[in-house]
Chains A and B, each alone.
Chain A
Amino acid sequence: MPSMFAIYRWELRKLRAQKRTYLGLGAAAVIPLIFVIALVTQGGEPRDVVFGRYVHDTGLAIPLVLLLFGSIWMFPLITALVAGDIVAAEDRHDTLKAILTRSAERHHIFAAKALAAASYAIAAIAITGVVALVAGILASGFNPITSLSGTEVSAPHGLALVGASMLVYLLPILAIASIALLLSTALRNSGAAIVGTLMFSLLLQLVDILPGLSALHPYLLSTQFNAWQGFLRTPVDWAPIVRAVWICALYAVPALVAAGLIFLRRDVASE
């Protein structure tokens, strides 16, 4: 019987062979570049967003501004592009019957797919972060950054805080990936799963801006996209970060369990 790691490696190879993977990762790399080029050539700054006023002072502000922009549709879309397809593609190619009649258990195959989708999402965030940092530092320098509390943070310390912010930002991204995986498994259609995930993400952001539902705001997935800002306070505000951990788990775990159960119990019949 193959190890789960062996199946996972093959799931990564499948992703490497598909254009959608490069489309998503390419967007994750190109969008920060376009943003930095626009800043350099057009001047000005996005003053309405947190750290927007510092984009010309330090390159460290660039990835943080992109995290804010990316939460609306960019990262949910990039994530759903693969997570929403990873099971549905097997239905599209009718390959489930081929892989489920070898020697790999269904739960191992599902776990490998979930891990591969998560790996891709992590890679997308990492690429955006690295490209934004490098391009930002080249454009604006590796300078200290001013925290949300108004204190100046040294450049090396700021770099560590940006890295930590990226890690926390991954929590809602992985929750989105879990929801996309659920839709991919349940709907067996890539397009429906990708659009469904995006609609879900946008719906939560709509709820987020409705004043009458403010009691719900701390528990919305969209709110957790801002949890990283806790790192940019002095001292570090752990409350939103801890809340993001369990709230994202509340979204991700039921979605993963439901997707897993559907995958394990489904009949693999021709459509």
Chain B
Amino acid sequence: MPEGPAAGGAPPIEVRGLTKRYGEIVAVDGVDLTIEPGDVFGYLGPNGAGKTTSLRMMLGLIRPTAGSVRVFGRDPQVSVAALDGVAGFVEAPSFYPYFSGRRNLELFAALDGPAIGSAARIDEVLEVVSLRDRAKDRVRGYSHGMRQRLGIAAALLRSPRLLILDEPTTGLDPAGMRDMRELVLDLAARRITVLLSSHLLVEVDELCNRVAIVRKGSIAYEGSLAELRQTAGLSYLVRTTDDERAREILSRQPNVRAIEADTSEGLSFKAADERSVGHFSLGLAEAGIGVLELSPKHATLEELFFRLTEDRASPAPHAAEPAETPVAA
């Protein structure tokens, strides 16, 4: 991978074999990840899975034990210049409490260089996050939601091409969460690549086109949400006038598996193709069993997430087998 100036076609983030150990604890374990331009990439995992540690390494805040990070083709460990065009925050955004919101932004703008952060630009980003009225107040008096919004403003000051947001809606009220999601969608519409770390599945489902699911420091899945759902296979739900006999008929059908009868809604099963489902419906008719409902059922992201991240469930087909490592702090 190239060093020095940003490589022309380099992806916003390319991570290979990224590992961080703290003594015996493996916080991040051989993560491979590529985020393409224009992605709204969900970095999904339970608390302690190593998401924030990975983000800190991507931003050059933590030295990897092994592996490499390239941001637009450059290594953030070599120079902070690798972060040109990159903004965001890890964990909660942080500020100097004794400065006003505006003064904090002025400071960050000064650290971005003389070309960034004119008063007009600061007004502009304060307007975007609806904080212009409170800009002269000390950050010490800001609510959590206001700090989150100021964190977005601080990020936008850099006119980023890549925005890294770590749990941006954590601690926000419903209206704040809605506003934050709308903001992310708006940024994505402007072709800003977004890396969104979250454990909120609804949020990721709503915002992201691609995801990586992290389990105990390793990537359990990386790809599009559509592909993830496909790997889980299509389930069907059937309700009949006689579920007991329907189950017998179902069990005799070829290309049908994973029959579950313990649902109060009826029977659920997986079929290799729609033809098999058709054969099953004919079998029900021949046996004189009335069909009340026969419908396809997509796995929810939540189901897939738990399947990939919890020990008791087997991983989804084609997903990378996660290594058994201690959970990150």
A positions within 8 Å CB-CB of B: 1-3, 6-7, 9-10, 13-14, 17-18, 93-106, 265, 267-270
B154 touches A98 (CB 8 A): yes
Is A6 touching B95 in the complex (CB atoms < 8 A)?
no
- The interface bits of chain B over 145-174 (1 if a CB of A lies within 8 angstroms of the residue's CB, else 0) are 000000000100010000000000000000
Q: How many residues of chain B have a CB within 8 Å of chain A?
A: 37
Q: How far is the CB of B116 from chain A (nearest CB, A)?
A: 8
Tell me whether B12 is interfacial, beta carbon within 8 Å.
no
* Inter-chain contact A102/B62, CB cutoff 8 Å: no
How far, in angstroms, from A44 to B5 measured CA to CA in the complex?
A: 71
- Measured CA separation A183–B56 after assembly (Å): 25
A105 to B: closest C-beta gap in Å = 5
B74-114 CB mask vs A (1 if < 8 Å, else 0) is 00000111011011111111111111000000011011111
Closest to B59 in A: A101
Nearest chain B CB to A132 CB, angstrom units = 31
* Those of B28-52 within 8 Å (CB) of chain A: 52
B111 touches A10 (CB 8 A): yes
Which label, helix, strand, loop or mixed, suits the secondary structure of the A interface? Answer: loop
Whether a CB of chain A sits under 8 angstroms from the CB of B309 is: no
Known contacts A269-B56, A269-B62; A103/B112 CB under 8 A: yes
CB <8 Å contact, A103 and B111:
yes
B61:A269 contact, CB within 8 angstroms:
yes
Q: A7 is contacted by which of B96, B98, B110, B154 (Cβ under 8 Å)?
A: B110
**The 3 residue pairs across chains A and B that have the minimum distance between CB atoms:** A102-B111, A268-B61, A94-B94
Say whether B229 faces chain A, with CB atoms less than 8 Å apart.
Answer: no
Is A98's CB under 8 angstroms from B63's CB? no
Known: A98-B108, A101-B61. A106 touches B80 (CB 8 A): yes
Contact B95 A97 (CB under 8 A): no
Q: How far is the CB of B152 from chain A (nearest CB, A)?
A: 13
B80 in contact with A97 (CB, 8 Å): no
